[in-house]
Every structure is written in C-alpha cells, then in structure tokens.
Structure 1
Amino acid sequence: MNKISTHLLTLSLCVCLSWLSHFAVAQSYGNISGSVQSPKGEPLANINIALEGTSQGTSTSADGSFTLSRVAEGSYTLVASSVGYTTQKRNVTVKAGETTALQLQLSESATELSGIEVQGQAAQYKVDVPSTSLRIQTPLLEVPQNIQVINREMLQDQRIFDMLEGVSRNVSGVTRLEHWDNYARLNMRGSRIAPFRNGMNVQSSWGPLTEDMSFVERIEFVKGPAGFMMANGEPSGFYNVVTKKPSGVTRGEATLTVGSFDTYRATTDLDGKLSEDGRLLYRLNLMGQTKGSHRPYEYNNRYTVAPVIKYQIDDRTSLTAEYTYQYAQTSPIGSAYVFSANGYADLPLDFTIAEPNLDPSTVHDHSTFLLLEHQLADNWKLSGQLAYFNYEASGSSFWIAGVDEAGDMQRTMSIWDALNIGKFGQFYVNGEVQTGGITHKILGGLDLGSKRYIADWNQSATLNGPTTFNIYNPVHYVPMDSLPQFDRSRSLRQRAGSNILSQTYSGIYLQDELHFWDERLRLTLAGRLTSSTDNQYTNITENTKFTPRTGLSISVDPMTSIYALYDQAFLPQVGNTLDGKGLEPVTGNNVEFGLKKDWFDGRWNSTLALYRITKNNVAQSQFDEETGISYYVQIGQTQTSGIELDIKGEIVPGLTLVWNYALTDSEITEDVVEANIGNPVPGFAKHLTNGWLNYRFNSKLIQGLGLSLGYQWQVERSTWSWAGSSGQEALPDYFRLDGAISWQNEKFNVALNVNNILDEYLYSGSAYSTYYYWQTEPPRNFRLSLGYKF
C-alpha cells in the first residue's frame, strides 16, 4: 500500500475512534417490520413506507413485507402510500433493542391516484433507496459510496428523450463526449463509465442502442469501483438504467411533443392487471419519433416497443419477463462531425459534410430480460436474472482523408455493418443474520457474461462530387453514379474478418456489511474473484483477478453519515511487450471519503465526496524503427483526484433543486517518456457545475403553474483521447442555459421547454493529426409537450 493510501486509512480509523465516545451517549435504536396487504389479503409490493418528520423510508418487497432498521427510540407516525391506493397512517412506538411489528391494509382509490401524482411532483427529485438491480439493500444515506439517482420526474421535467441529451447535467463530474447518434459515451472521474441496464453490464465498443427515456424509470450513477456489481472495467464507475416495471395499479399516460427542427414524438405508458386476483401484471411503453437537426440532411427517426409481464407465482415468488425493441434510422454515422485546419468553430453552426441523397443507417436493437425473485425467509431473498441482447446495424460512416487551410476537403465514406450479441446471467442472494450484538447484511452471488461485436468497416471510398468540396464554399449533391457502392453479397461474418471484439467473464463475490452499536456503525468487507477472456482483433488475453472492497459508514445522527471506502477494479489490456509477453491488466484503486446529510426532515439531501483513483500498469505503445516492430512498454500510471458535491430535493415547499459541482484533476504520474509526466489525461472538465431549479405554484389562482431554469458550466475542458500536433488550441469554456414553463392538474399537463436560451455556439471536439474536428449543439430551440393521464 502506498503512502497516500496508508495516510487515508489512518485518517479513517481516527475518524472512527473519535466517534466512539459519541456512540456511548447516543440514543438507542430499534426496528420496525411489517407487511402490507390488499383487502383480499393479497401482498402489495412497491408500497412506499416512511416515518413522518424523518428521512427514513423503504418500500415493500414482492411478498408485501418491509423493515425499517436503526430507528431511534421514540414515537412516530408511519405512512404507507402508493399511487392508486388510499394512504394509511399508523402511530408506532419504537423501543431500544426491540422490533415493532405492524400489519397494514391498503385499498385502491382513483381519487388518491390523481392526488398523489400531482402533489408529489415537486418533491420527487430526491431518492432514498437504490433499485433492487443494484443488489444492495442499504439506504443511500448509509452506503459508503457516492451514488446519485436521476428519477423519472427529473427526466420528464427536463424533457430528455435519450441518453445523448441532458442526463449528464444532473450528476456531478459527468461529461458527455463523442457520439454517433446511436450510442452514448459518458466520462466521469477520469475515464469512460460503463453502461448497465437493470444491473447487467452491457458495454461494448459500439452499441447497444442508447436507451430511449420512454421506458426508463431511473438512472443510477455509481461512482468508483463497485465489487458488488463488477470488477473488470474502468475504476471510474458505471451508470445503471432501470426500466419501468408493472406497479399493480391500472393507469395510463399519453404524451405528444412537437419541437424545433421538425421534431414530432408520441409516447404511451400503460400499466395494469391482466388477472382479477392481481397476480398477473403488465406494463407497455410505446414511442414513435421523427426528428430533424439544425444541420441539413441529418435526422434521427426512432420507435420503441417495450412490454413487461410480471407473474406473482405465490406469496414469496415472482417471475418478470421483459422485452424491448428499439429501431433507429439516422443519417450516415459521423455526419455530425465538422472539420477544419484553422481551428474550432470557424464554420457556421449549421455546416454539414452530409449529402441529401445518401442512404440512411439503420439499427435494430432487441433485448430480453427474465427475472425470478424468491423470498427464502423473512430476511433472505434469492434473485436470478438472464438477459439477451442483439444489436444489428447496417449503414455507412463519414470521415475525411484531409482538409487544408484553404478549406479543400476529401470526404470518405466507409461501410458500417455490425452485429453485437450479449448474453448475461446473474444469481445472487441477500440476507441478514445476527451474531451477538452484530447484524450482518450478506450479499453473495455469481455473474456470467459473454459479449461479441463484429463489424465490416473495411470497404471505403472517396465521396467525389462534381467539384472539390470546400468547407468555406460548400456545394452539395453528389451524382448517384459517384456514390460509393458497397458489396454486401457475403454474410457479415465473412466480411468482418478480424474485426472482432469480444469478452467472456465470470465472477463470484461475497460481501458482509456488519452493523455495530445499534447499527450506527457499518463496516463493509467484500471480495470478488473475476476471470475474463478478451479478444481484440484476434489478439487474446486471459486474466483472473481478486479485487477487495472495504467500506466504513458512521451515522452521526439519523440524518447524517460519514464514510470511507477502499475499492479495486481491473481493466484487461491486449498486446505484447518486446519480448513477446502479454500485458498485465490495469489495476485501479479508489480511495474515497464522504459526508451525506438529509436536511429539513429529509426533504433534500447533500453528498460531499473526496476521492483519488490510481491506475497502474498503464501500457504505452512503442515502435522500433530498426526492426519495424510495434510493441508495448508497461511503465505507466495515472491518478485522478477530485471533490464532488451533489444537492437534490425540495428546498422549500414547491421549490425543487438539483445542483452539483465537481473539481476533477487527472494527470499522468508515471510514463516511459518522462516529459509526459504531469500532462492531463484527456476527457474531463476541471471545473464542472450544473443546476436545475423548479418551482410549482400552489395558490388558487395559478395552482399547478411551474417555472424551471437550469444551466451547465464547464471550465478548463480537455479534449478526449486523440493526440494532435503540438501547439493546437484547447477547447473553450462551455455555458448553456435552459428553461421551462409548465402547468398541470389531475389529468392534463403541458410544458414548453427552451434549450440554449442564450443561443450560444456550443460544441465539443478534439485536435486530430493536423486538423480539428468538433460537433455542434443546436442553437436556441424548443419542445412543447401535452400529456394526459387516464
């Protein structure tokens, strides 16, 4: 362990010891457990359970049971509520060292359905518990890690269509980098973060198709390694897209949206029961969209079909089957890029290298999930999940062969046909046992995965027009007989050749979260053993690695916790050293400290985190001019450190805020080329802050009226991973202002969102070889939405 890690561990122990005296005189705690049923005696799942005047809450499991742990001794009012059910309140007294048992019954109520939807809208940005797909059952306030959640209300207020839009603004330190209108690349804490869906790691080089928000319930950003979810990936973390599931309440919602650049979109969300006894439930989400662009000849037309069926086999067992089909038809991949030899932003905002008579690129994206949950006992649950992904793309991509200072450009087009298949399996158990005065929350399981991506990008040709294409005087339209003709007579597997990117892995993990002193102190001890085989362009490497995890969380009071974390991940590397040996994987170590607090009876929450991620064994490519041999030298290290602050929730009645700030510093600390030491690692903004403020009026004259204002501000932006010639300019600072005005009642809602209010020239990009390339964002634009609930 290096000196920094030793000092940080010593500090955490000192903090722990300093609070022991506090625990000796702190108030004692007990527990509340119970169940919620319908009048017919059916267990009700996903019922919200909360203690008035506190931040403590949970939701019922599949068998209707719930537990609230570490409740301070005293008298409370417990509230059980859910959309479509009457709210029930029950007075409860908690005694030290005892568990208070309750039996609750809720009946359906159409009146309550509309009331909860409207009244709860303003305060719903704050989320207290993770989704079950994150496996852990600890409230977010007590988890020794920075986890931020973007829920459905936030996505709706900001009118976000997919992961390529403003999702990143709601989490500290997240930046969106390169995209080709079909997949999203998000960076955080110094590197790309992996995309998950429902707890499955679906990351690949390209694909699957980025999720449309019509079928998304929430997005969870887990910062830093998380051995309970993955180990073979970047140590910066991941985001988990959680899809909508049946709620057991019969309801529906339809929304129509029109907007700038010929945007037309319709969504439908249907939720209900397929059997009278409520054991067979369904959820169906549909979406259709045609959308143009501020650049001519560019478009993104999509539709989505996402049915979900859930069957409650018995009081303890449920089976959920989910299928999602996404279709996308877009202009050729890469048409959004702008190129110039003379610097960034020297072309109009609507400049394009595309042509009007090019065939579109199409994507067919299928995914299937099968989830089996079984309550083994009151405190033990077994979950098993299988998933299959199939992503097929057919189209072409743009790049250039060169551009000179006079603006003369050689555009090239390549075929881009691809197939991406992923197969995943997860089996894990959650449980709780007592040993003396210590509570153990156990998590253990097995992860299996297989990913394979093949593509044909080998065929390419220059896009020749009647005249030389000049970026300062562009003349569009290439005659049909001059367009590239690609050969698709053979199968994709035959055409792909060595263009193969694949990975198979298996992991077994065990985590014990020990609760001491009436659960005021929590110590996490965990480990994961992961084996992976990676194939990159027929270069194969195999790795088996054990990654430990240690976390400490201390409750200063029921609404405040401090934590310390040490966690590891590894990243396989493919290649050989000069003597022919394979590369060792990159090892990523994360040391993190944080303070979490709920404010004003839990209406809003703040998280402050300090971290340092060290990546060792980073390989550097080398070329021996005498022998003509390319090889790797494994002498490299990078360090990313930073501070993150997230604030989220209802600040005062009716006023909801999302605000965050991140200071990120990522640099090379060891390198075979000494001059590189101290240089920044590409792909981050040193200072990044975002805000979204929403106020909903409650006075009689203007009840339901809402006003929103938000911004994104990036300072000292670095480009991403390409290296250009020395002396090329850096990216300028970035500031964007958005806003919205809306109105809603029990049935209707209407909203007008305006993005880039200041009409700024906004872009991201990089230096590449001897020129620059970038992608522009739309100028001032609007989206007008009308929704109806039934």
Structure 2
Amino acid sequence: MNEGKHAMKHYRNTSITLALLGSLALAPLAHAQQLQQDGPARHYQVAAGPLSTALSAFAAEAGVSISGAASLYTGLSSRGLNGHYKVADGFARLLDGSGLIAIDQGGGHYAVRQQPSAADAATLPGIAVRATAERSTSTEGTGSYTTPATASVTGLVLSLRETPQSVSVITRQRMDDQDLLTVRDVLRNTPGIAVNQFDTERSTFSARGFDVDNFQYDGVPTTYKVQYSGGESEMDSLIYDRVEVTRGATGLLTGAGYPSASINLVRKRASARQFEGQLSLAAGSWSDYRGTVDLATPLNGDGSVRGRVAGAWQDRKSFTSHYANQRQLVYATVEADLAPGTVASVGASYQKNDPKGSNWGGFPLWYSDGTRTHFDRSVSTAPRWAAWATEQTNVHATVEHALGQGWKAQAQAMYSKHTEDTPLLFLAERPDRITGLGMLGYPNRYIGQREQSSADLKLSGPFTLGGRQHEVIVGANYTLQRAEFSVKEALDPEPIGNFLAWDGSYPQPAWGEPVLSEKYTTKQYGAYGAARLNLADHTRLIVGGRLSRWDKDRIGFDGSARFAFAKSKFVPYAGLVVDLNSVYSAYASYTDIFRPQENQDRTGAWLDPLTGQSMEVGLKGELPGGQLNGAIGIFEIRQDKLAQPDGAHKIPGTTTQAYYAARGATSRGIDGELSGRLAPGWNVTASASHFRAKDREQQDINTLSPRSTARLFTTWKVRPDLIVGGGINWQSKFYFDDEGPDGKERITQQAYSTVSLMATYQLSRQLTAQLNVENLLDKHYININTYAQGTYGMPRSVRGTLTYRF
C-alpha cells in the first residue's frame, strides 16, 4: 500500500515537472519560428573565391545554415559580395552565374539546388518553392548547436524529432565555442551526463543513475573500462565532427551494456574539394600551452580523392601540485569516390599522454580522529615520478555504396590499441591530524595493452507495402577485444611519513618481476534489424531486434580468479512516433537490457548478468530544416542483479572493492533539452535532467551520481566581428556511505554550479581571437570515489586562443 502511494506521488511530481520542463523546452520553438524569418538587410563582406567557401562564410555571417551535395560546387567560384543584403538576396548574388539557386526551407535553413529549366520553373509555385534537403549528419562548418539528423539509435538516418529516444549532439561549433578539448570536457557539458573524476587521469561517466560503458567510433561499438581509462577520458576532441549521446538502452546497435547512454564519437571526414585549413595557438592558466593544425585538400584534379591531416600538441601544468602533462595527437584520413555512388575512406590516429605527478586515487576525507580534512586545492597524493602514461592507436576503414532506388550498403572495420606503463603510488588509511602519520603507501607499476578489432556490415533502404513507403535496415557486427596487464610490485618501499608535509619527493622504489594482474578475451557477435513502418500519414512504428552472442574468458590477479561466460541473447526494440502537427510529435520506445557483469562479492563469487527493461515516452519539436530542436521525455528503467559497491568490503585476498547484486533496481526520471538557433546569430543549448534510482527495498543506489543536473550555454553575435557567450552547469548533491573512523559515515558533496564565459573577436577575415573563462565564480567542490577519497574540482581558469583560417 505504501509502495503504491509512493509511486503515485512520484508520478504526480513527475507530471508537474514534465509540464514545467516541457514548457521551457518546447515553447521557444513557436517563438523562434517568428525570429528566424528573413530579416532586414545587413552589411556583409565575403571575399571572392571557391563557391563553397563563400557560401559557408555568408551562411555563418547571416546566422543560417546551408546544405547541398558537394559535387554541385566542383570547379565553381564566386565574386563574393560587399554591401547591404537580405539573406535571400545575398545567396542570389553569390550564386549568380553558377547555375545554382538557394531555396529557403524555413527555420533559417537553405538548400542549394540546380536551377530548374524554364519549362520546369513554369510548373513551380513561385515564392512558395520548397525542397527537401539531403539529410546530412555532419556539423562541421554549419555554425549550429544541433544537427538535422542522426543514425545513432536504429542505424537509420532520422531527424531528432523522428527518433524515439533522447539524443543529444555536441556539435563541432559547441566544442569550439566552449573550448572543450577532451572527451571528458565534452561529456561534462552534455545533457543528462554526470562526470566523476577519480584522479588526475581517470573519470567515470553516468546517466540516469547508471555507469556509461558503451562507446562507439563512427557507429562501431567498443567498450570503456575505468580501471584503464587514463587514455580514453583524455582523448583529444580535435578530430571529431560531433559527439552523439543516446540516453537509455542502446542494445540494438551496441549489444550488451548498461541502460544509461551510448557515446558515439564521429570523426571529421576528408570532404574538402579545395585546399582549406586552420592553425591555432592557445595559452591558459597554470602554464597551459596548446597548438593545433587541421588541413584538408583534394589530392587530384577533379577532387575525387581527398585528404585531411590534423594534429595537436599540448603542454600543461595544473592547480594540482607537481602535476604536468604533455599530449600529442596526429590524425590522417583519405576519402575517394571510387565509382558513381561508391565512396571509400581510410584513416588513422595516434595519441600519446605523457603525464608526471599522476594521482592514483584521491586525498583522505577524514583524519584518524574522525574529523574531516580540509586541504588546499593543490593537494596531491602522488610522488613526482608517478606517471599514468598511455598511448592510443586507431585505424579505420569504410566503404559506402549506393545501390540505387535509395538503397545503400556500408562496410566498416576498425582496429585500436591501448598501451600503458604506469608507475603509481596509492595512499590508503587516514593521517593523524597533528603528526600527519598513519598513511600507508602501495607503490605498483602496471604495464599492459588492450587491442580491439571490430567490423560492421549493414544494408538499408526503402520499400513499398500497402501503398506506403517504409524503411528497413539489417546488419551484423563483430567485436574482439584482448587485453593483458601485469603489475610490478615495489621492493622495500619507503614509509610515507608525515603526509601533512607531503611534497612529492617520495623516492621511486626498485620494481620486482611482473605478475599477471588481468588477462581477458571478449568476443561479441551480433545480427540486428529494424523496420520503420509508415502506418498512417502521421504515424510511424519502428520495430526491430538484435541477436547477440557474448563470450568472455578472464583471468584475474596471479591467475587465482577465473571468469568464463558465454551467452546468447535476443534484445527486442520498439518505437512509435506520432506527428501532432508540422512542428511537434509524440514518441514512445521500449527495449530489453542485458549485460554480463565482471564483479565479485565479498566471498569472491561472480555476480550474475544484469537484466531488465527500458521504457521512454515524450514529446519532441523541430523547426523546418532542423535548426532548433526541443525534447521532453520521461523514462523508467527496471533492472535486476545490478552490481553495487558493498561498503568497505573487499574481495578476499585483494584490495579490490567488493560488490553485491541489488534486486529490483529501478530508475525513473525526466529529461528536457532545447538546442539550436533561436534567431540569426543566437545559438543556445539548455537542458535539465532528474531521476530517482532505488532498489526493491527503496534504498538509494548509485549515490555518487547526482540526481538532478541542468546545463545552459548560449552565444550571441553582437556585431559581425564580435560574439559573446556564457553558461552555467548545475548539479544536485551526491554522496557515498563508507566506514569512517567512527563507524559508518556519509560523505556528501552538496549541490553546486559553475559559470563560464566566452568571447570571440574577428581580428581580420582570417584571424580570430577567443577568450574562455571556466568556473568564473571560483566554486569549491570535490569529486568522491568509492574508496572514500576526494579530488578537488578545477578552480577558476582562463584560456586565450588565436585561430587562423584559410
């Protein structure tokens, strides 16, 4: 009875929140329709040159977007323009003599098409001409904070409004405006994603109350493991066109995984048909220096073979004492039109992270007498020689072929390798408040590598049934991951001494012979399919499923802990989208959850696989052309046997955290987001998320994930040469229960927010200066890990960047 009342109260509160959040997320769409109309004439100055470059420059200046097949611009140039024009008149001037026209599709979006013949033009209704743009998912060069389409949920290229799940896209423009240099930076600013930084290199990501472990590169699935994530969370964002985040279960394409979110990192392509590029230099707080280069060019006369290279170098220190890091990145890709309708691409990237003074874990939160510690934000538990050094190599290839009648086949392959050599020191226990004594040191040196090979083959296209056109996709993928890590234990390490006088000068010990830490092989095979059925003029049903085979063989420390698992599982998927009018639609989706777990309980026994269901319903809105997208949805996730940290208990014979299987774990919540262009020159992204996650006994689970988050960032083009912007990130409190000096105690970080500012000034046609300020109000906060340790969040920081484009 009490449980029923509790549920009714929850849904009543959720309904109220849904109404309020929905009004915030969707109401601006109607107003933006008025704002985004073609306004009065303004002054524009666009240099003569390649037509595609001139159009992109004018669109960015006008605050609109433009689309069209790249082949339309081959060999064409523009005289440019200099004067006062309305948007439509400016496009007409730039396209004069090209045989092309720009068609206003509404919502600040224009489509470039071949100019119709006189006979064809006579049949067209004058100014009411509209055309359907080819769906493009690329965001680079659009100047937008959203994308017209995505394929991240079902593999079918659909608009965000047509996709029956919550999807956020962090575009290239947002990454540049907010100065988001790593994947961790990007996810820290993504709707509904919480980031908990364990130490200087490692972070965990969560959504809807559960860990995020599903990552994709260009849609090809891979896995993320926090124990060895010193490289993944620090991946440089320079080479990515966008980051697509699908919240909820995504087993249709990714296979086994948590029902939290899937992160799809989409690389930049070699699509330029004339030489273009940019160089940048940046300097920031704590001697942070960075340089980048990004060049693209055709490799033959007609542009049918194109190349691109990009690189980044960064040398930075930190507010954390005696920490420094050098990062190098190189990326190269070639794309070729092999035949009409056939495009192939190959590419490779290499990143090296070379830090010094790396923390392994955080600082103690209590003194031995039970009082809380209050260290300076520069506190470090690392010796100067500690280094979480990693290298990542990635090679990929894709072939796409248009079969005709709208059908397309695509084959992808990827190989990645992660290596690390990490001499580290872990500090445990709690120091005496007066003498600083009592800390224990565990020096270890981890050496190893992880390799993954993946392949994906899919076929998609339309078909006609019952007098209506529908779409279907079928595919199969395969992933093989092998990893082996060894540890060298310290020989006769020195005692820690007075931690209150710690300065990192602790001597590096001699290392023993390597002992196996972990070795595993994981194979996942999958066949999937989905059909998008047009049931009526305004109703579409997506049904599909995936049959997966998951095999894993893992050997733990010193060969003493063996885990072997093999399981086949079918995961169904269903989604329904109903158009309410030309702007709004309602949606619902359902899928099953399955994930093998590699956690052990306090007796050393392995936990059973996680199972459950994920459901979501909501509303979405989109202006024509996809320039502004809004969404609001409520979700429920039901899971059984979810691994949860078992307090201070360890796996017998190790220092590894023990887990227990939570029965009947449920997460219910709400997401809302608005992203895109509210008016010419005005970009915005705003979001809010809330969830409640409990087990069958109504006890909170995953308490290190904040229950509520809100994000806002916006930019405004004050004048043609000046853009200003700012934002705020807020999250509710989170906590962790552990055994403190006085028994079980709760560690809590209260709710907090951080404020950011940015400004970009156009020094010349090709040179811009940008200033970014993070944590403007210098908010103090900590991250908490499962060992009852903390790391301080970054204080106020400033970075200035000069960018030269050509």
TM-score, normalisation: structure 1 = 0.79
Residue 532 of structure 2: aligned partner:
513
Give deviations 1:223-249, integer Å, cap 9, x for gaps.
Answer: 112243122111112111111111223
Q: Distance in 2 between matches of 1:80 and 1:570?
A: 52
Q: Distance in 2 between matches of 1:346 and 1:645?
A: 37
Q: In the TM superposition, what is the alpha-carbon distance from 1:132 to its structure 2 partner?
A: 8.0
Residue 221 of structure 2: aligned partner:
201
2:209 to 190, 193, 201: 190
Residue 48 of structure 2: aligned partner:
none
Q: In the TM superposition, what is the alpha-carbon distance from 1:536 to its structure 2 partner?
A: 3.5
2:505 paired with 1:477: yes
2:377 to 349, 368, 374: 349
1:756 to 775, 779, 787: 775
Amino acid at match of 1:199: G
Residue 678 of structure 1: aligned partner:
699
Q: Could you say what secondary structure the match of 2:671 adopts?
A: strand
Q: In the TM superposition, what is the alpha-carbon distance from 1:443 to its structure 2 partner?
A: 0.8
Q: In the TM superposition, what is the alpha-carbon distance from 1:777 to its structure 2 partner?
A: 2.1
Give deviations 1:52-110, integer Å, cap 9, x for gaps.
Answer: xxx9997659999xxxxxxxxxxxx99999x99979436699xxxxxxx97569xxxxx
Residue 32 of structure 2: aligned partner:
none
Residue 801 of structure 2: aligned partner:
785
Give deviations 1:553-572, integer Å, cap 9, x for gaps.
Answer: 01112221110000122101
Q: Could you say what secondary structure the match of 2:242 adopts?
A: strand
Residue 183 of structure 2: aligned partner:
163
Whether the 8 Å contact between 2:548 and 2:570 is mirrored in structure 1 is: yes
Give deviations 1:16-45, integer Å, cap 9, x for gaps.
Answer: xxxxxxxxxxxxxxxxxxxxxxxxxxx99x
Mark the CA change 1:526 to 1:62 in structure 2 (over 3 Å): closer, same or farther.
farther
Mark the CA change 1:534 to 1:484 in structure 2 (over 3 Å): closer, same or farther.
same
Residue 535 of structure 1: aligned partner:
553
Whether the 8 Å contact between 2:596 and 2:610 is mirrored in structure 1 is: yes
Whether the 8 Å contact between 1:349 and 1:776 is mirrored in structure 2 is: yes
Mark the CA change 1:668 to 1:434 in structure 2 (over 3 Å): closer, same or farther.
same
Mark the CA change 1:292 to 1:439 in structure 2 (over 3 Å): closer, same or farther.
same
2:452 paired with 1:425: no
Q: How does 1:489-638 map to 2 (within 5 A)?
A: 495-497=514-516, 499-518=518-537, 520-537=538-555, 538-574=562-598, 584-599=608-623, 603-618=627-642, 636-638=663-665
2:497 to 459, 468, 474: 468
2:147 to 127, 141, 144: 127
Whether the 8 Å contact between 1:62 and 1:317 is mirrored in structure 2 is: no
Mark the CA change 1:344 to 1:595 in structure 2 (over 3 Å): closer, same or farther.
farther
Q: Could you say what secondary structure the match of 1:156 adopts?
A: helix
Q: How does 1:108-147 map to 2 (within 5 A)?
A: 124-130=144-150, 135-147=155-167
Structure 2 alignment gaps of length 5 or more: 12-51, 74-87, 106-111, 117-138, 556-561
Q: Distance in 2 between matches of 1:243 and 1:314?
A: 23
Amino acid at match of 1:314: A
Q: How does 1:427-442 map to 2 (within 5 A)?
A: 427-442=457-472
Greater mean alpha carbon deviation, residues 653-662 or residues 327-336: 327-336
Residue 689 of structure 1: aligned partner:
710
Q: In the TM superposition, what is the alpha-carbon distance from 1:502 to its structure 2 partner?
A: 3.2
Whether the 8 Å contact between 1:335 and 1:352 is mirrored in structure 2 is: no
Residue 373 of structure 1: aligned partner:
400
1:412 to 434, 437, 442: 442
- RMSD over aligned Cα atoms: 4.0
Q: In the TM superposition, what is the alpha-carbon distance from 1:539 to its structure 2 partner?
A: 0.9
Residue 232 of structure 1: aligned partner:
256
Mark the CA change 1:310 to 1:184 in structure 2 (over 3 Å): closer, same or farther.
farther
Whether the 8 Å contact between 1:122 and 1:654 is mirrored in structure 2 is: no
Give deviations 1:656-704, integer Å, cap 9, x for gaps.
Answer: 21111111111112xxxxxx64233333212211111211112xxxx32
Mark the CA change 1:683 to 1:429 in structure 2 (over 3 Å): closer, same or farther.
farther
Mark the CA change 1:127 to 1:231 in structure 2 (over 3 Å): closer, same or farther.
same
Q: How does 1:213-252 map to 2 (within 5 A)?
A: 213-249=237-273, 250-252=275-277
Q: Could you say what secondary structure the match of 1:164 adopts?
A: helix
Q: Could you say what secondary structure the match of 2:667 adopts?
A: strand
Residue 672 of structure 2: aligned partner:
645
2:371 paired with 1:325: no
Structure 1 alignment gaps of length 5 or more: 9-42, 65-76, 94-100, 106-118, 489-494, 670-675
Q: How does 1:250-289 map to 2 (within 5 A)?
A: 250-289=275-314
Q: How does 1:288-367 map to 2 (within 5 A)?
A: 288-335=313-360, 337-342=362-367, 346-356=374-384, 358=385, 360-367=387-394
Whether the 8 Å contact between 1:333 and 1:396 is mirrored in structure 2 is: no
Mark the CA change 1:415 to 1:568 in structure 2 (over 3 Å): closer, same or farther.
same
Q: How does 1:701-720 map to 2 (within 5 A)?
A: 703-719=720-736
Q: Distance in 2 between matches of 1:144 and 1:78?
A: 38
Amino acid at match of 1:224: G
Whether the 8 Å contact between 1:170 and 1:691 is mirrored in structure 2 is: no
Q: In the TM superposition, what is the alpha-carbon distance from 1:601 to its structure 2 partner?
A: 7.6
Mark the CA change 1:289 to 1:125 in structure 2 (over 3 Å): closer, same or farther.
same
Q: In the TM superposition, what is the alpha-carbon distance from 1:584 to its structure 2 partner?
A: 4.4
Amino acid at match of 2:197: E
Mark the CA change 1:253 to 1:84 in structure 2 (over 3 Å): closer, same or farther.
farther
Q: In the TM superposition, what is the alpha-carbon distance from 1:309 to its structure 2 partner?
A: 0.6
Give deviations 1:593-631, integer Å, cap 9, x for gaps.
Answer: 0111125885422110110111123368999x9xx9999
Whether the 8 Å contact between 2:280 and 2:293 is mirrored in structure 1 is: yes
Residue 177 of structure 1: aligned partner:
196
Mark the CA change 1:543 to 1:723 in structure 2 (over 3 Å): closer, same or farther.
farther
Give deviations 1:441-487, integer Å, cap 9, x for gaps.
Answer: 1111001001122212352468536x71223x335423xxx421224
Mark the CA change 1:140 to 1:601 in structure 2 (over 3 Å): closer, same or farther.
closer
Residue 172 of structure 2: aligned partner:
152
Q: In the TM superposition, what is the alpha-carbon distance from 1:435 to its structure 2 partner?
A: 0.8
Mark the CA change 1:410 to 1:126 in structure 2 (over 3 Å): closer, same or farther.
same
Q: Distance in 2 between matches of 1:540 and 1:453?
A: 15
Whether the 8 Å contact between 1:191 and 1:683 is mirrored in structure 2 is: no
Residue 83 of structure 2: aligned partner:
none
Amino acid at match of 2:480: S
Q: Distance in 2 between matches of 1:569 and 1:511?
A: 17
Mark the CA change 1:485 to 1:120 in structure 2 (over 3 Å): closer, same or farther.
closer
Residue 77 of structure 2: aligned partner:
none
Q: In the TM superposition, what is the alpha-carbon distance from 1:759 to its structure 2 partner?
A: 1.4
2:101 to 75, 89, 112: 89
Mark the CA change 1:722 to 1:137 in structure 2 (over 3 Å): closer, same or farther.
farther
Give deviations 1:311-368, integer Å, cap 9, x for gaps.
Answer: 1100111110010000110125435722232466610011112233x15342221000
Q: Could you say what secondary structure the match of 1:547 adopts?
A: strand
Amino acid at match of 1:329: D
Residue 738 of structure 1: aligned partner:
756
Q: Could you say what secondary structure the match of 1:144 adopts?
A: coil
Q: Distance in 1 between matches of 2:272 and 2:410?
A: 20
2:752 paired with 1:726: no
Amino acid at match of 1:747: Q
Q: In the TM superposition, what is the alpha-carbon distance from 1:394 to its structure 2 partner?
A: 0.7
Q: Distance in 2 between matches of 1:621 and 1:159?
A: 35
Q: Could you say what secondary structure the match of 2:188 adopts?
A: helix
Q: Could you say what secondary structure the match of 2:748 adopts?
A: coil
Q: Could you say what secondary structure the match of 1:306 adopts?
A: strand
Whether the 8 Å contact between 2:428 and 2:440 is mirrored in structure 1 is: yes
Whether the 8 Å contact between 1:182 and 1:209 is mirrored in structure 2 is: no
Q: How many residues align?
A: 686
